[in-house]
C-alpha cells in the first residue's frame, strides 16, 4: 500500500504567526481549504503591521536590504514548492530576482529620491524619503507569485509594513510564500497575508483609519468605492505597474524636509 501524503493546512499569516480565521470560516480553492478572513482578521493584521512599523522602519537600510535578500534565499530554497503554486519554475526565478533587485534599493533610496536643497538663505536644508506607514495591498491575480512579490517588495523595502489581501483565485502561491517569509528574517508583522474575498476585505482596509496607503494595482478597474473610503483619513491610493522600478517604491514614501540655520 502506497504511503498517504501528509497534507498542508493553509492558514492566514498575521504578526509572524499562522492563525486560522477567527471567524472559523474557510473556502475551497484549487482543492484546498483556505482561511476566509473576516473584518476582525483584517483589523488584527493592521494592528500587527502597525506594531511592526517602528522597528522595521527604524532598522538600518543595510539591515533591511539584507533581510530582503534573505527572503530571496528562502524562496530559492523553496523554489520547488513555489513552482507548483504558480506558472512554474520560470516565474519563481523572476520573482526571486525581483526580490533581490529591490533588496539592493534599501540603502540607495535617499540618494536617488532625496537630496539637499539650495535655499536662498543661511540654512542647511535637506529632503529625505520616509516610509508612509501601514500599507494595504490588494494583490493582483496574475501572474500570481511574480505579481504578488512585485507589489510587496517595493512597499516593504523602504520600511513600510504591509497587509496583503491575496488573490482569491489562487491563494496557494501566497501561502507558500508566507512560509518563505516566516523563515526569512523579516520581523513578524512586516508582511501580513489575508486569504479571503477582495470585495469583502478591500473596503474594510480602505476605510481603516490606521492604514496610511492602499495599493489598488491588483483590484482591477473598478476602484471608485475604495477611493471614496480612502478619503476618510486621506490615504494615499496607489495604482502601480508590474515592472520593477524605484518609482514603484516612491509611491509609498513620504518626503520630509528639514531646515537648520547655518551660523557660528
Partner 1 sequence: MAAKTPATRAVPSPLEWEYAPAPEAREIVRLEERYGLFIGGERVAPRSRKWFATTSPATEEHLADVALAGARDVDLAVQAGRGAFEDGWSTLRPAERAKYLFRIARLIQERSRELAVAEALDGGKPIKESRDVDIPLAAAHFFYYAGWADKLEYAFPNRKPRPLGVAGQIIPWNFPLLMLAWKIAPALACGNTVVLKPAESTPLTALIFTDICRQAALPPGVVNIITGDGSTGAHLVKHPDLDKVAFTGSTEVGKAIRRELAGTGVKLTLELGGKAANIVFDDCALDQAVEGIVNGIYFNQGHVCCAGSRLLVQESIYEPLVAKLKRRLRTIRVGDPLDKNTDLGAINSRMQLDRIRELVASGEEEGAEMYQPPCVLPEKGYWFAPTVFTNVAQSSRIAQEEIFGPVLSVLTFRTPAEAVEKANNTPYGLSAGVWTEKGSRILWMAERLRAGVIWANTFNRFDPTSPFGGYKESGFGREGGLHGLEPYLRFDR
User: By the criterion CB under 8 A, which residues form the site for partner 1?
Assistant: 112, 115, 117-121, 123, 125, 127, 132, 212, 222-228, 230-234, 236, 243, 247, 254-261
Buried residues in 216-246 as b, exposed as e (16+ CB within 10 A): bbbbeeebeebeebbeeeebbbbebeeebbe
Nearer to partner 1, 28 or 222 (CB): 222
**Residue 204 Cβ vs partner 1, minimum distance, rounded to whole Å:** 17
**Residue 47 Cβ vs partner 1, minimum distance, rounded to whole Å:** 18
Detail the DSSP E strand segments found in 31-76. 32-35
**Residue 182 Cβ vs partner 1, minimum distance, rounded to whole Å:** 29
**Residue 119 Cβ vs partner 1, minimum distance, rounded to whole Å:** 4
C-alpha cell at 11: 492558514
**Residue 22 Cβ vs partner 1, minimum distance, rounded to whole Å:** 29
Residue with cell 523572476: 94
Q: Return the ∠ at Cα 84 (arms to 17 and 42), rounded to 5°.
A: 30
Longest dimension (CA), the chain: 87
The Cα 74–Cα 84 span in angstroms is 16
Amino acid at each position: 500500500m502506497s504511503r498517504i501524503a501528509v497534507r498542508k493546512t493553509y492558514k492566514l499569516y498575521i504578526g509572524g504567526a499562522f492563525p486560522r480565521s477567527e471567524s472559523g470560516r474557510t473556502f475551497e480553492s484549487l482543492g484546498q481549504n483556505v482561511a476566509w478572513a473576516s473584518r476582525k482578521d483584517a483589523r488584527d493584521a493592521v494592528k500587527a503591521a502597525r506594531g511592526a512599523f517602528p522597528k522595521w522602519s527604524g532598522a538600518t537600510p543595510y539591515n533591511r536590504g539584507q533581510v530582503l535578500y534573505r527572503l530571496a534565499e528562502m524562496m530559492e530554497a523553496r523554489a520547488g514548492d513555489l513552482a507548483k503554486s504558480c506558472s512554474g519554475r520560470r516565474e519563481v526565478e523572476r520573482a526571486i530576482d525581483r526580490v533581490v533587485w529591490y533588496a539592493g534599493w534599501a540603502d540607495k533610496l535617499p540618494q536617488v529620491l532625496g537630496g539637499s536643497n539650495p535655499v536662498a538663505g543661511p540654512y542647511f536644508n535637506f529632503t529625505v524619503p520616509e516610509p508612509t506607514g501601514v500599507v494595504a495591498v490588494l494583490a493582483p491575480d496574475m501572474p500570481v507569485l511574480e505579481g504578488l512579490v512585485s507589489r510587496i517588495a517595493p512597499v516593504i523595502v523602504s520600511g513600510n509594513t504591509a497587509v496583503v489581501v491575496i488573490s482569491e483565485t489562487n491563494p496557494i502561491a501566497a501561502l507558500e510564500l508566507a512560509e518563505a517569509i516566516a523563515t526569512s528574517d523579516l520581523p513578524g508583522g512586516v508582511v501580513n497575508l489575508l486569504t479571503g474575498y477582495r470585495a469583502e476585505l478591500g473596503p474594510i482596509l480602505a476605510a481603516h483609519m490606521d492604514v496610511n496607503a492602499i495599493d489598488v494595482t491588483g483590484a482591477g478597474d473598478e476602484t471608485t468605492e475604495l477611493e471614496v473610503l480612502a478619503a476618510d483619513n486621506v490615504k494615499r491610493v496607489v495604482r502601480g505597474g508590474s515592472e520593477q522600478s524605484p518609482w514603484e517604491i516612491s509611491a509609498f514614501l513620504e518626503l520630509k524636509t528639514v531646515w537648520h540655520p547655518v551660523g557660528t
